[in-house]
Chain A
Amino acid sequence: MAEEFEPKIIAFLCKWCSSAGSDLAGVSRMKYPPNVVPITVMCSGSVSPLYIFNAFQKGADGVLVSGCHPGDCHYIKGNFYARRRIALVKELIEYIGLEPQRFKMSWVSAAEGKKYTKIIQDFVQELKPLGPQKKLRREK
């Protein structure tokens, strides 16, 4: 039997809320699939569209950008700029035909280990039926 497809997810987590939230998931020993590799950035506002396109080009099956809830940004308002920028990226990649399920943004606070866990669980479940992301992926 063929092995089940395991999607690769790159998660850009802000250092202060979402990365801390994912730490809390760990501290609380919650379980989620190992498909996600986190890259901790200072702020969701620092996630350039280039990072997202690049992750897809390098073969990510899904990309998550996660920051602090509005009003809770460690950097006061970085996440508001992220919200606008990511909205544009999301609209654009859906418009060119990439499955919308492949790109997500979330607000995860340092206290939301459970929410982070659920987001990853759901993300993996949503990506599995789609199969590998080949549209933007570079030919090797």
Chain B
Amino acid sequence: MVNLEEIKKEAKNILEEGKVKYIIGYAKSSNALMAAPTFVKKPEDIDKLIWDPTCFQNLVKFLLDEKRKKAREKEPDIRPVGIFVKGCDSRAINVLLQEKFITREDVYIIGLSCEDLGVLDEKKIFKKLKGEEPEKIEFDQRKNIVISTKEKTIKIPLKEILAERCLECTSSFPVISDVFWGDRNNRSPKEPFKSLEQIESLSQEKKWDFWQQQLSKCIRCYACRSVCPMCYCDECVVDSINLAITADTTAEEKSQKIKWIEKSPESSENFGYHLVRAMHLAGRCIDCSECERVCPVDIPLRLLNKKLEKVAKELFDYKAGLDPEQPSLVSSFKDEDPEDFIR
């Protein structure tokens, strides 16, 4: 069992000892269903830390900001940053280590197992509430969630409102950590790719209709990219203007930026953007589903990334973020990789 008091004690210790610069964790927010990221810098602030199924955000994204900040500072504080990670988040750290974007010394990983549960899917709860605003929530024996609105109080079994990714999760505990709470039981969901089945069973044209309908909604706000811990390039290949301009960038370099994808939210460009994004996340996406959660127009982005996760697993026996020492999915191969699609 994950014991919040023990976590707080550890947090207090490492802050007092100056072992970490600060701790990125979760705290209550004005939205009862969602814990907010919090940065605890002083030992006396540790009481705001929480740990429950509302902690669905992937805090690893903040490590990217930390790295950039450190790069700008003249005499940066090189102590590690403490960070709360769930199983999925820990795989994100592994991918960042694998890609050498951060080093192991940059982080002090406070690993928290989701055990037999997972985190909430806000959208599922909103559906159950039929438009009512939740004011207060409580968890009852890790089995139910008790939600109070102005009108009433309802009790919903947790399993019904867990995020899809938690229902399909195969390793609900951090695979890398400095301190760890909870169990390390591997889960073996019967259908780890169940959410893909519906689309996969469609005819070619119906598949197209589905994605056409979904992706035509895209307004190219790039929220998916902004929230993604894997999207850390200074300049994204799909942008048609240079962002990574330095003092040395020549006019020639600026003019050479290739417009692979136009910014306008037209169908072809939207497909272009999302296809490139899916390819670039193949073997890297760790299924935190943050892209889908933050999408303002509710595109089921997770289903794109999950598809390539499945392909990687089934064709190449590859799963992202398990081992920072292994080469990436697309920077490795096996002699026996399938080639029945090749003539």
Query: In the complex, is A directly touching B at CB under 8 Å?
Result: yes
Binding site for B on A (CB under 8 A): 49-50, 53-54, 57, 70, 77, 80-81, 83-100, 104-107, 119, 135-139
Residue on A nearest B238 in the bound complex, by CB: A50
Stretch with Cβ within 8 A of A (4 or more), from B10-18, B32-40, B329-337: B329-337
Q: Are B272 and A92 in contact (CB under 8 A)?
A: no
When chains A and B are docked, how far (Å) is the Cα of A70 from the Cα of B342? 11
| Chain B residues near A83 (CB-CB < 8 A) | 333, 337, 339, 342
8 Å CB contact of A57 from B212, B268, B311, B333: B268
Stretch with Cβ within 8 A of A (4 or more), from B169-177, B183-191, B198-206, B244-252: B198-206
Residue on B nearest A139 in the bound complex, by CB: B266
8 Å CB contact of A97 from B207, B307, B311, B343: B207
Q: Are A84 and B268 in contact (CB under 8 A)?
A: no
Distance in Å from the Cβ of A118 to the closest Cβ of chain B? 9
Distance in Å from the Cβ of A123 to the closest Cβ of chain B? 9
Q: Are B341 and A87 in contact (CB under 8 A)?
A: yes
When chains A and B are docked, how far (Å) is the Cα of A97 from the Cα of B213? 12
Interface residues of B in 205-219 (CB under 8 A from A): 205-212
Q: Are B278 and A98 in contact (CB under 8 A)?
A: no
When chains A and B are docked, how far (Å) is the Cα of A119 from the Cα of B330? 27
B231 interface residue, CB < 8 Å from A? no
B308 interface residue, CB < 8 Å from A? yes
| Chain A residues near B262 (CB-CB < 8 A) | 138
When chains A and B are docked, how far (Å) is the Cα of A38 from the Cα of B283? 31
Q: Are B331 and A87 in contact (CB under 8 A)?
A: no
B120 interface residue, CB < 8 Å from A? no
Q: Are B208 and A87 in contact (CB under 8 A)?
A: no
Q: Are A105 and B260 in contact (CB under 8 A)?
A: no
Report the number of A-B residue pairs with Cβ-Cβ less than 8 Å.
112
Q: Could you list 13 A-B pairs, sorted by A, with CB under 8 Å? A: A49-B276, A54-B260, A70-B339, A81-B333, A84-B316, A84-B330, A87-B311, A95-B207, A96-B207, A99-B204, A105-B342, A137-B268, A138-B266
Distance in Å from the Cβ of A78 to the closest Cβ of chain B? 10
- Proximity bits, B78-119, A CB within 8 Å = 1, else 0: 000000000000000000000000000000000000000000
| Chain B residues near A139 (CB-CB < 8 A) | 266-268
Residue on B nearest A58 in the bound complex, by CB: B268
B154 interface residue, CB < 8 Å from A? no
- Proximity bits, B279-313, A CB within 8 Å = 1, else 0: 10010000000000000000000001001100110
Interface residues of B in 255-285 (CB under 8 A from A): 260, 262, 266-269, 271-272, 275-276, 278-279, 282
When chains A and B are docked, how far (Å) is the Cα of A100 from the Cα of B206? 14
When chains A and B are docked, how far (Å) is the Cα of A106 from the Cα of B323? 33
B237 interface residue, CB < 8 Å from A? yes
Having A50-B237, A83-B339, one finds 16 other A-B pairs with CB under 8 Å, namely: A80-B333, A81-B331, A83-B342, A84-B330, A84-B332, A87-B337, A91-B308, A92-B304, A95-B307, A97-B206, A97-B209, A97-B212, A98-B204, A135-B271, A136-B272, A139-B268
B76 interface residue, CB < 8 Å from A? no
Residue on A nearest B280 in the bound complex, by CB: A49
B338 interface residue, CB < 8 Å from A? yes
